[in-house]
Chain A
Amino acid sequence: MSIRKGKNYPYGIHVKDNKQLTADAPIEKITAPETVYVCMSQHIGAPAIPCVNVGDKVKKGQMVGEASGAISANVFASVSGEVIAIEDIVNGLGQKAKYVVIKNDFADEEVFFDDICDFEPSSLVERIRLAGIVGLGGAGFPTAVKLSPKNQLDALIINGAECEPYLTCDYRLMLERTEDIYKGIKYTARALKINKIIFGIEANKPLAIKAFERFSDLDIVILKKQYPMGSEKHLIYCTTGRKVPLGKMPFDVGVCVQNVKTMIACYEAIELNKPLTSTVFTVSGMAVNEPKNILAPIGTPVVDIVKHCGGTLEELEKVVAGGPMMGKALINLNHYTRKTDSGFLCLKAEEISPLNPTNCINCGTCAKNCPMRLMPMYIESFALAGDFANAEKYGAMNCLECGSCAYNCPAKRALVQSISMAKNKIKEMKKNGK
């Protein structure tokens, strides 16, 4: 057993975390909804292709969408019932995607994978690929791809930082399913053929640290409570002291970072032979009656989730999918849970500080706080002026969109918005071969 303090990283911010709303609420299983809307595009990469037809009877755990390409993931039915539609739906994020709509027959019939017989690394990776597991921290990058690096890695880093305010689902899982996470970690380490396992937990979760103390082969690193500690690059730096060079990936410095939730999914896929059909997330915010941590089938309508949490108050101003720093606002509640969801926040006006932006006063707070050490004010002004070449020169493409700059901006500039606009434009320019 080893517990040590993480390396100090001086750039980042302190955010009021509001985790007390749900930190002590045990994970509750939601009653299965009447209808689930399973999205075919729940991950980075090519969308899955529906492999069922309208009218088909499906069982829980049956594949409904097949991965199409190297970077893609399978999608499974999260309830048993009948496929009543396969259609394009504009979800609450304003994205149009293909959905398989399944009417629940409440028979709860379930299908499983066959038992794994040899537990060789390659068969473990194959199972993780088959089960459609993606990075559940939010990015949604297919885990199997991450577990088959070109070079031999020497450390597996488990991300238990959960630095986003409000969110407590990872924390609850670490308390309630400690054993499962540990088993998932062991399988993942085996798949990567490495022995060194580092577990990074933020210092504000003493109970979680305590829960994992008993596993002698984990190198537990207590991280300073700081945002964005859960960012891959910063987690790697604070736990191992390695800096991921710009434009490079974690495997270039010999590590692989996995989220605790992904570890549970791996455990379920390998030991329980279950594909990824449900997610755990936090429903919180001042505008929801009963903030809770919830386990729900993938594809559950957000309306049902909100209803399960006692509905919302009149003062509801904004609904955010994900954490308040990096999550996306919903246009309306016609949204359905996806693999990568970590929270749904119903926020009041007093929480979101809806002030209009004023002139930048050049105070340099954004540059001081930026965890990537960029100059957000220059990127913003170049982006707004349409000079994307200069925006790129100042490092627009290295931005994590963590929101540290905009959080503390006294002029309330929409820095992240401008920078992500610049990123899209730069990508477009590169695509057009300019």
Chain B
Amino acid sequence: MASNKLLKFSSSPHVKAKRTTRHIMIDVCIALLPAVIMGIVYFGWRAAALIAISVASSILSEGVYLLICKKTVKEIIHQFDFTSCVTGLLIALSIGSQTPLYVPVLASIFAIVVVKMLFGGTGKNLVNPAVTGRVFAFISFTSVMASGWLAPSISSIAGGWATSISPTTGATILTEKLSGAVTSFSIWDMLLGTGMAGCIGETCKLALIVGAIYLAVRRVINIIYPAIYIAVTGVVAVILQSVTKGQLDLYSFFPAVLSGGLFLGAFFMATDYTTSPNTTVGNIVYFALLGILTAVLRWATGIEVVSFVILLGNLLVPLIDKFIVNKPFGYVKVKKVKEKKNG
């Protein structure tokens, strides 16, 4: 009889859903795969090397940090939750393919050790590690990061990606557009990234959209929020362009949303659980705010600001969470008794 057997004892609920933090992070990695593949197809072995180095240094720096914290190897493997893998992937995808190999290494170490682990590890970071890592790299290595964008073209892909990409450098379409030299890119080109210069993972928007749809189907993210971000950015950009030019410029919607790091930022960086608000209303406010800031700051500064805006937004999240809280079911507003003041 089982009467003598020790039973497990715990608080309710006694059944739980299967999904864990690790499952969610693996889903994010899977969702980034199309962008990784397209990055390698467009930019060749260098992209592959950058991605591999970035991911490896992220995971290793987390491991080394935990070793210094006197965790055993078994514990480290047991609690490995793939967040550092996501961070590494995002850093690699948001840098140019000609970036020196040491840049993602330093960015990853900064992101993992300073931004994440020193604050207490997964879930405790104030700002998104990947975004901060990217901004760190941008500010620290301005010259190498700002030059060396490669523009993949249909012909170069057809001719074999490993050998024949000619390293034509150029500004991203965004910079061109912002400097008023915007020319003839079709929307299709912008979606696929063909002929456009950009970062490894940000060039092919279609791959990012596929990844985002995967995340939405798996219910990791709510697709509405990044959609709000992208739409608000586009609309505000149209308004700003129209005001500047003095006439309605609807076409500027597409370059505004389809260029730069907006898709990667909106789908994969801004939706990071830890650094986004906890309520539905809070999220809508947050993503709309990001959209407005992105469009306005792009217009004002003429550089790509998505990662800076997300960093800024992250810092506003505690404030949003403090003031936007769900109203409990059956909440009755307490009527404040107005005291008449006798003048």
Contact = CB atoms under 8 A, between A and B. Distances in A.
Interface string B195-233: 000000000000000000000000000000000000000
Interface in A302-331: 303, 306-307, 311-312, 316-320, 324-331
Contacts of A312: 2
Interface string B95-126: 00000000000000000000000001111100
B273 A233 contact: no
Given A359-B121, A361-B273, A395 B328 contact: yes
Interface stretch (A50-58, A117-125, A413-421): A413-421
Interface in B286-336: 325-332
Q: Name A's interface SS.
A: loop
Interface string A1-12: 000000000010
A359 B15 contact: no
A359 B14 CA distance: 20
15 contacts: A11-B329, A307-B1, A316-B2, A318-B7, A326-B12, A329-B9, A329-B12, A358-B20, A359-B21, A359-B120, A362-B274, A407-B16, A410-B23, A410-B24, A420-B11
Nearest to B16: A353
Given A243-B329, A243-B330, A359-B124, A329 B14 contact: yes
Contact of A347 (B14, B23, B274, B283): B14
B13 A333 contact: no
A234 B331 CA distance: 14
B18 interface: yes
A361 B21 CA distance: 8
Interface in A12-37: 15-16
A382 B245 CA distance: 53
Interface stretch (A75-83, A191-199, A364-372): A364-372
Interface of A: 11, 15-16, 165, 233-234, 237, 243-246, 248, 303, 306-307, 311-312, 316-320, 324-334, 345, 347, 351-355, 358-364, 367-368, 370-375, 377, 394-395, 398, 401, 403, 406-412, 414, 416-417, 420
A375 B325 contact: yes
A377 B321 CA distance: 12
Contact of B279 (A360, A364, A372): A364
Contacts of B10: 318, 329, 414, 417
A165 B8 contact: no
Contact of A351 (B15, B24, B274): B15
Given A351-B15, A363-B24, 20 more contacts: A16-B15, A234-B329, A243-B329, A245-B331, A311-B1, A326-B12, A327-B12, A329-B10, A351-B14, A359-B120, A359-B124, A367-B279, A375-B325, A394-B325, A398-B328, A410-B19, A411-B20, A414-B11, A416-B12, A417-B10
